[in-house]
Amino acid sequence: MRMTIADTEIKVAWENNPSVKALEEMCRDGELTIQMSRYGGFEQVGSIGKSLPRKDVQTKTSPGDIVLYSGSQMVMFYGSNSWAYTRLGRITGCTKKEIRKLLGTKDVTVTLDAR
């Protein structure tokens, strides 16, 4: 699955779990666009549009982590937090500083597709 954040293609190491498989299935009919909003000074949050399977566990996140919150919200971290989430993946190939610049300065649009 391919991810684009504000017109920048991002490499992601996706988890192998039912949540990611359901997200991939949503992208098979075309792109999935998620409007993300900064929240708490350490994350971007956006509605996926439907509830996905989840297996939340208490997790300490770090910059670049991508998780599922409450079954229907994608969260991308440019800081850290500890909460019960289902892991979706992790941004790779970017430094913490690059992730903060990409996610920490304004709300962003994320596009996912199954290519």
- Sorted by where each begins, the domain ranges of the chain are 2-113
Is the pLDDT confidence value at 115 over 80?
A: no
pLDDT digits (tens, 9 = 90+) for 65-91: 999 999 999 999 999 999 999 999 999
Predicted local distance difference test score (pLDDT) of residue 7: 86
**What is the CATH topology of the domain spanning 2-113?**
Cyclophilin (2.40.100)
At 29, the pLDDT band (50, 70, 90 cuts) reads confident
CA distance 83 to 56: 9
Mean pLDDT of 19-38: 94
CA distance 26 to 18: 12
pTM here is: 0.96
